[in-house]
Amino acid sequence: MSAAVQERAVSVWRLRWRRLAQDPAALAGLAVLLALIAICYAAPLVERAMGVSGIDSDLFSRFTPRDDTHWLGADDAGRDELARLLWGGQISLSIGLLGALGSSVIGTIIGSIAGYARGKTDMVLMRITDGFISLPVLPLLIILAALDLSKLGFSQDFIRSGAAGYWRIVLIVTVLGWTGVARLVRASTLALAEREFVLAARAQGASAFWILTVHILPNAVSPVIVATTLAMGRVILAESALSFLGVGIQPPQTSWGSMLTNAQELIGNAPELAVYPGLLILISVIAINFLGDGLQAAFDPRSDSR
């Protein structure tokens, strides 16, 4: 790549960042999201500093009100609510990130192959995509999340561990969430495949893999970034719904959705136990959507430089 091409690429990314920096809602969403991630992954430090636990039960501290030790009080098992929210945030946010990235990778691979190969390959891959789009997502999520893993050959130790529920949800949202990215990448690949630099590379004998990875996908990355960001919010909501229905994250792990499930039986005695995780889900999804909207405007070449 020549120096002029490198300078042009840097200038394009600098322009995109300038557009994003001029969007206060997007910057606020990014700041809130980064703050949530940093605070949630500081859960062990918070527990040591405050001398509390969000995992170990303490029946003598059941429903402890807010005080200097328990800033948000304690739940029905005596676990510190603030620490529990931080541990749950690690699960919910990481599932959102991994699920969005996994579905984007699958969608990018399928969409790029369909758009570059065209013909029968394109027709078959797009009909498969249409089939996945037509599936009733929420009922299918519930059915897949409720499958008996022992019948699939998994050990009882793994099934009883919290990792089983975690990775099952990541896999489910990844398998079912790639269709939108596939359509976006296919459309971009169809347009880029007729550009002069792609035709020149093909005339020089470059392989299809080289053309896709070096010439097409780097130029089609903009819609993928936007779609991945917006998908993270949808995955967090899907995980929360599954955990709320009791087929998601299982003890000893916790998530914001599973905390809502536990709190629904205590809504009369301790309504704040349902307010805290619900509010964090709302804040994180709104922040992600603000950031996604800002990225969409920043990556749009028709966007005005404000």
Find out whether 26 and 39 touch, Cβ atoms under 8 Å: no
Find out whether 215 and 193 touch, Cβ atoms under 8 Å: no
Collapsing DSSP states into helix, strand and coil, what is residue 74? strand
**Interatomic CA distance for residues 262 and 250, integer angstroms:** 11
Instruction: List, in order of start, the domains of the chain with CATH numbers.
Output: 11-53+70-299 (1.10.3720.10)
**Interatomic CA distance for residues 5 and 18, integer angstroms:** 20
Close Cβ partners of 111 (under 8 Å, ≥ 6 residues apart): 181, 182, 183, 184, 185, 186, 187, 188, 189
pTM: 0.84
Predicted confidence at residue 40, as pLDDT, reads 94
Collapsing DSSP states into helix, strand and coil, what is residue 80? strand
**Interatomic CA distance for residues 105 and 66, integer angstroms:** 44
| DSSP3 helix / strand / coil % (the chain, rounded to 5) | 75, 0, 25
Predicted confidence at residue 8, as pLDDT, reads 52
Quickly count: other Cβ atoms within 10 Å of residue 60's Cβ.
8
**Interatomic CA distance for residues 139 and 170, integer angstroms:** 17
Predicted confidence at residue 95, as pLDDT, reads 92
Find out whether 28 and 294 touch, Cβ atoms under 8 Å: no
Q: Which two tokens stand for residue 155?
A: 């050990």
Predicted confidence at residue 21, as pLDDT, reads 85
Q: Given the structure tokens 């948000």, which residue do they identify?
A: 72
Q: What is the residue-level pLDDT of the chain in tens, covering all 306 positions?
A: 444 444 454 576 787 788 888 889 999 999 999 999 999 999 999 989 888 888 888 888 888 888 888 888 888 888 889 999 999 999 999 999 999 999 999 999 999 999 998 889 999 999 999 998 888 877 887 787 777 777 777 777 766 776 777 888 888 889 888 998 999 999 989 988 888 888 888 888 888 888 888 888 888 888 888 888 888 888 888 888 888 777 778 777 888 988 888 888 888 788 888 899 999 999 999 999 999 888 888 877 655 544
Helices (H), 51-161: 81-117, 119-133, 137-145, 156-160
**Interatomic CA distance for residues 204 and 74, integer angstroms:** 68
The radius of gyration of the chain's CA atoms, rounded to the nearest angstrom, is 23
**Interatomic CA distance for residues 144 and 301, integer angstroms:** 40
Find out whether 224 and 104 touch, Cβ atoms under 8 Å: yes
Quickly count: other Cβ atoms within 10 Å of residue 190's Cβ.
16
Helix, strand counts (H, E) of the chain: 14, 0
Find out whether 239 and 172 touch, Cβ atoms under 8 Å: no
**Interatomic CA distance for residues 82 and 70, integer angstroms:** 7
